Amino acid sequence: MNAQRSTLGTLRSVGLRGALLSVVALTLAGCPLPPPVVDPPVPVPPGLAPGVAVEVVDVVFPEDLRPEVIFNLEDGKGNPIALGELTDARFILAYLEAAGPGDTAHYTSYTTSTEDPDRVPNSGDEAVQANYDSARIGGISRNDDGTYTYKFATAVPADFDASLPHQIAGQFRRTYPVDGQDYKFNLAHPFMPDGSKQDVATREIVDTQTCNNCHTRLAVHGDVRRDVQLCIMCHQPQSSDAQSGNSVDFAVMIHKIHQGAELPSVQEGDPYQIIGFGNSVNDYSHVEFPQDIRNCQACHTNAPQSDAYLNTPTLNGCASCHDRTWFGSPSNAPEGFEMHTGGEQVNNQLCSLCHKPTGPAPAPIMEAHLRPTSSPEAPGLALNILDVATAPVEGGQQLDVTFEATDKSGARYSDLTELSSASILVAYPATEIETVVRESVTSRPPGTLTPNANGTFTYRFAALLPDTGDTFAAAMDGRLSFEYRGETYTQGTATNGQVIFTLDGSAPVPRRAIVDDAKCNKCHDDLRAHGDQRVGVDSCVMCHNAGATDAARRPAEAMPPETINFKDMIHRIHSGEELEGDYTVYGFGNTPHDFTEIRFPGLRQECSICHVDGSTDLPLADEVLPTTVTENGELVEQIFANRAACTSCHDGIMPNVHALLQTDASTGIETCAVCHGPESETAVHLVHALAP
């Protein structure tokens, strides 16, 4: 047990509620706490607004060949703003190189810097990196018509090709004098230096908004670079890292980062690292992509050229994930590399001959990236509950569940022995589950399974349900095995077929809406767990309820148990390396799962990434149970609902002490909503609001 858990246990045991009793008494007596002192709002001068935007009017190349960018500088409502409000302004200029045979076009910057390899001893050769022009704010002057001109410190070559597409990009930061907040803006402006009116070619293979499905708001290098079109101006083939020797070309670097722990090189013990600002070591060897990495469309969608990976495969693009495949001369293959099946490749010209999007071809891309469960060999499985019926018997209510098992064509399986497993779960009360019963229908079922004439099945539960007025939830899990390319794979059920019901026929009361599967699937593609057989949050919470722990899997030396209540568990998993304490859960096979290495790609304070509107408002619903941890029937820990929701992310000592002081453990009263309710000055949605 780590020090933090021990300390919190001590705090709980000494009864810190005493300091709060008088406050609770006053509140219950109708004397609410005084509101927090808040500074009065600063009046906003007419015509002034937050935000910042830069609009390019023209780019000219004077005789000295130092480009000049004429632009408008405006606030979020289109009002002109003073140059003095800018705290940062940087421009970069690049041209789009014509694509070679079988290749895609890349930007090449006119402004570069050379890394000094001596920053780290024995780090390798010099490395060139694309960079911003050096003039920055000092290069900006105001024009008589209210526009501004930025003059580059760097001159383009005398023989620069004005017929090639170019792009001006930049980053800008404005400190708004009214609220003191920093507002950021990224610019990407394609143009033709020769003034031709043709459509300007660009490189748009991924789209920022698609990245933000997982990253919330793409933000790197001090939260000021937020647009992929800005990223690729520096992160292109001419840029590399001197210390690690790794390319920082966007296509290579991003593929390798997202592959992370699954990179062949990493699995062989070679970490994937980039040395960043201030010689910081950025080690991506523990990154786990939250879905199958073969789903290229997770990133490559919605952009004008998002199909480039299919139509113009490249050595760099493919080798960034398959980084132990050698495309050079067989005689020079490094140790540990596997020779490319198609032999030596000196450039990208021949790649698309074998690697077409689909067949006929020796190695079609879609087929190579096909997930086994999406292959023609995968039979498919869906388990759907069609009816539930109950009848009173001695000791409770007898439950009969009628269900079907279908393949991907919709045809019913007539013999459940074709399945590897199938079970029915019943949990109650459905509004806030406390009890779950799971019975197998395929392997020595404790109840009675009856095949029906229409291809369905009816299963009579061995366990009796309590004769209550609760709403019950029933769902199924299951999977089957199949052969694909000479190997055996598992496919989980496509649906859990959950239904809710009551014993007396009254209208069932569903569980409150808290998170949305569609939001989860923006990152996870298809949220499922435990051998792919549990699908969606409604299935998860049946077992991962307020009293659930890992006690059954946790070894004695690692006790006490850890909560696996869905709320606590998911908050902590998504907090990952940001947690102050440990969160290790023991799972199947008594395997420890340490989640403190998880790197959540989004911004955790943006609760709407997962939550539906209003579900994070305090106080939580009355039916929400406290998180309870027991060991051998003895209470180890009980965390009331509001505190559990907050301290599963804010897990440090002080947030827990704060929450304990605002709780009367003897009555279960939490006063969190007094200060953090939806209408208060420190409401959850306000304190979690993203900076501009």
User: Tens of pLDDT along 30-43?
Assistant: 444 444 444 455 45
Same domain, 220 and 310: no
Position 80 pLDDT exceeds 80: yes
- Residue 305 in any domain: the answer is yes
Query: Could you tell me which of 553, 632, 559, 564 has the C-alpha nearest to residue 586?
Result: 553
Last residue of one domain, picked from the residues 308, 343, 370: 370
**Which of these, 363, 331, 327, lies nearest to 344 by C-alpha position?**
327
pTM (two decimals): 0.89
Q: Which of 602, 643, 617, 436 is nearest to 520 (CA)?
A: 602
Does residue 230 share a domain with residue 92? Answer: yes
pLDDT of residue 374: 94
Do the domain assignments include residue 256? no
Which residues span the domain enclosing 651?
3-30+587-687
- Is the residue at 137 inside a domain? yes
Residues 337 and 465 in one domain: no
Average pLDDT of 170-174?
Answer: 97
Let me know whether 224 and 95 are in one domain: yes
Question: Quick check: 4 pLDDT over 60?
Answer: no
Residues 458 and 510 in one domain: yes
Q: What is the three-class DSSP state of 584?
A: strand
For residues 425-454, average pLDDT:
97
Q: For residue range 392-417, what is the model confidence (pLDDT) as tens digits? A: 999 999 999 999 999 999 999 999 99
Give the pLDDT of residue 6.
40
pLDDT tens, 552-602?
Answer: 999 999 999 999 999 999 999 999 999 999 999 999 999 999 999 899 999
| Cβ contacts of 679 within 8 Å, gap of 6 or more | none
pLDDT, the chain, mean: 91
DSSP 320-333: HHSTTEE-S-GGGP
Last residue of some domain: 243, 264, 279? Answer: 243
CA 459, CA 451: separation in Å to the nearest integer? Answer: 9
From 344, 370, 396, give the residue that closes a domain. Answer: 370
Are residues 106 and 7 located together in one domain of the fold? no
Give a yes or no: residue 281 inside a domain: no
Report which residue type is found at 168. Answer: I
Residue 401: CATH number of its domain: 2.60.40
| Residue 264 belongs to some domain of the structure | no
Predicted local distance difference test score (pLDDT) of residue 114: 78
Same domain, 655 and 625: yes
First CA to last CA across the chain, in angstroms? 40
DSSP 646: H
CB-based contact 162:215 (threshold 8 Å)? no
| pLDDT score recorded for residue 222 | 87
Say yes or no: 388 and 502 in one domain.
yes
Has residue 542 been placed in a domain? no
8 A C-beta contact, residue 151 and residue 139: yes
Closest CA to 401 of 301, 485, 475, 299: 475
Same domain (yes/no): 395, 523: yes
In a domain, 559, yes or no: no
> How far apart are alpha carbons 349 and 335 in whole angstroms?
26
Contact 236, 109 (CB under 8 A): yes
Which pLDDT band holds residue 115 (cuts at 50, 70, 90)?
Answer: low
Structure tokens, 405? 């098992």
Instruction: Clarify whether residues 643 and 668 are in a common domain.
Output: yes
Q: Position of tokens 């998880």?
A: 598
Count of domains for the chain: 4
Q: 360: cis peptide before it, omega within 30°?
A: yes
Q: Is the pLDDT of residue 3 over 80?
A: no
Same domain, 656 and 600: yes
* Residue 514 maps to a domain: yes
> Phi and psi (nearest 5°) for 70?
-95, 130
Residue 113 has what pLDDT?
A: 86
Q: In this structure, are 177 and 206 located in the same domain? A: yes
**Which stretch of 45-59, 183-197, 223-237 has the lowest confidence by average pLDDT?**
45-59
Rounded Cα distance, 574 and 424, in Å? 29
DSSP 42: P
Does position 123 have pLDDT exceeding 80, yes or no?
A: no
Per-residue pLDDT of 656-690, as tens digits, reads: 999 999 999 899 999 999 999 999 999 999 999 99
